[in-house]
Structure 1
Amino acid sequence: MEIIIIFIFGLIIGSFLNVVIYRLPAGMSLIFPPSSCPSCGQRLKPQHLIPVISYLWQKGRCAYCGAKIPFRYPLVELTTAFIFCFIYLKFGLTILTLKYVLFAVFLIPLFFLDLENYLLPDKLTYPLILVGIFINIITRDLSWKNLFFGVLTGFGVLFLLALVSRGGMGGGDIKLAAGMGAFLGFPFILETLFLAFFFGGLTGIILLVTKKKERKDLVPFGPFLIGAAFLTVFWGDEILKWYLKTFFF
């Protein structure tokens, strides 16, 4: 029963995160005006805003003008619901579940904003850092040393990379990595960065070989950081043990 409640809660939060993803780049308020169709401007009624169900019932189209609704809307809702459930199954009804649910609430919109708009806005990355520090004061699952070096490593590694590459790494990526360091701490932020570079590099090679991208084309790095962060949250210990056992023992 608890898992069903958490899944429904995730769908509801995911619906709000869709608002963040749509309105934040446009500089709109997240609260006012009420939700409306981007195509015809008609204000939507409650029955049009039920997560996933409304999309399926309306066959992915606006109930008024028939304009196509992006598939991203149910995707974000379902992604949020499933991630919340995975967090609950991993940590149970503990304070750590609250910590990582908050982590996900920041990471999910950042993932889609960077993927769609090449944007990691300060309005999300700065609060990510502050909330990460604050929540660790409550949970105390990280020592002050691990918290400090987590933030410093996340910020420092990408900042140095940005200097060396002369702009190859954006400021949003640097602040995102610092925020992830506040939540994950040291040494897990190092693991996250390694996974992000590995999968990001592999994807870049595939895109070049298949000629989907040219060398000068931009590829957002935020989604790789965020994907790696979720891997670390769920399987960080196992990945670290496997790595140490394989290469050092």
Structure 2
Amino acid sequence: MVPFLIIIYSAIIISFIQVAAECFPIKKPFLFRFSECNYCKKTLTFLQIIPVFSFLFLKGKSKCCKVSIPFTYFLLEIITPCYMVFLYVEFSFSQHFFIYCSIYYFLAFFLITDILYMYVPNAIMFLFFSTLLLFYLLFQLPFSTLVYSIILSSLFYLLFYLIFRKGIGLGDIKIFIVLGSFLGFKMGYFIFFSAILLGTFSLLTALALKKIKKDNQVPFVPYIFTSFILISILIT
């Protein structure tokens, strides 16, 4: 029963996060309003906003104007329930479950804002840090370890940014600092290293296939998001 409820609620939460990530950077209201088509602004019916089902039912296109729905949204609605059930099976409702869940949802938010706007909002970054700090305090985890991880992660990633600032954004660095602080520097570094590998491989492949130009900016949060999921699964 619990895994079923996790699947339902996690799909609803990720759908809301996707809407919030679309609207927040452009200061568009997303609370207490009816969902609407991103293209023609027509109000969507209930059947058009059901996670996963709506995408399949509509065959990946909006019903009103027949424009393709971004596949990223469907992918998140599939991955999220699977990942949340995995966390529950591994950790039940322990501190690891809540910390990993929080990180996942915030990274999903940043993934959307980075893809759409190449932007990582500072206000949400502050909320990200504050949420993890709250869980850290609620579960009475060692505060000295947290301080050590914050200092070490900040020094390492800020130094990396100063040296390679043309190859990575400051928003990405802030995410790495938060991950290294609350997951521990070692796990944070594994995520960082695998994200660099994934990003480099994808960029070189895209350049070889002439999908992008050499000077094009590419969102990096998708690789951080993917690396977090992979590393968190492999390490547990």
Q: How does 1:79-228 map to 2 (within 5 A)?
A: 79-141=79-141, 143-228=142-227
TM-score, normalising length: structure 1: 0.82
Cα deviation, residue 153, structure 1: 3.5
Where 2:176 maps in the other structure, the secondary structure is: helix
Task: Give the structure-2-normalised TM-score.
Answer: 0.86
What are the ranges of 5 or more consecutive residues in structure 1 without an aligned counterpart? 238-249
* Unaligned segments of structure 2, at least 5 residues: none
**CA-CA distance at 1:13 after TM superposition:** 0.9
In the superposition, relative to structure 1, how do residues 68 and 204 fare at CA in structure 2: closer, same or farther (>3 Å)? closer
Q: Which residue does 1:23 correspond to in 2? A: 23
Deviation per residue, 1:101-139 (Å, 9 max, x gap): 112110112123223432222132221112122211122
- Fraction of identical pairs, as percent: 27
* 1:52 to partner: Cα distance: 1.6
Contact 2:22 2:116 in 1 (8 A): no
- Compare 206-215 and 74-83 and name the one that shifted more: 206-215
- What is the SS of the residue equivalent to 1:88? helix
Once the two structures are superposed, what CA deviation does each residue of 1:7-61 show, in whole Å capped at 9, x if it has no partner? 1111111111221232123221220432112233222233322112223223333
| Alignment partners' CA distance in 1, 2:210 and 2:70 | 26
- Counterpart in the other structure of 2:61: 61
Structure 2 counterpart of 1:48: 48
User: In the alignment, what sits opposite 1:2?
Assistant: 2
1:53-98: per-residue Cα shift (whole Å, max 9, x none)?
2232233333444444333332222222122112112212323212
CA–CA separation in structure 2 for the residues paired with 1:139 and 1:133: 10
Number of aligned residues: 236
2:95–2:139 Cα contact (<8 Å) kept: yes
Offset of residue 166 of structure 1: 4.3
Q: Which amino acid counterpart does residue 205 of structure 1 have in structure 2?
A: L
Q: Tell me the distance in 1 between the aligned counterparts of 2:211 and 2:64.
A: 37
1 CA distance for matches of 2:98 and 2:7? Answer: 14
C-alpha distance in structure 1 between counterparts of 2:140 and 2:13, whole Å: 26
Separation in structure 2 between the aligned mates of residue 226 and residue 153 of structure 1, nearest angstrom: 22
Taking a change above 3 Å as real, the CA distance of residues 153 and 202 of structure 1, as seen in their structure-2 partners, is farther
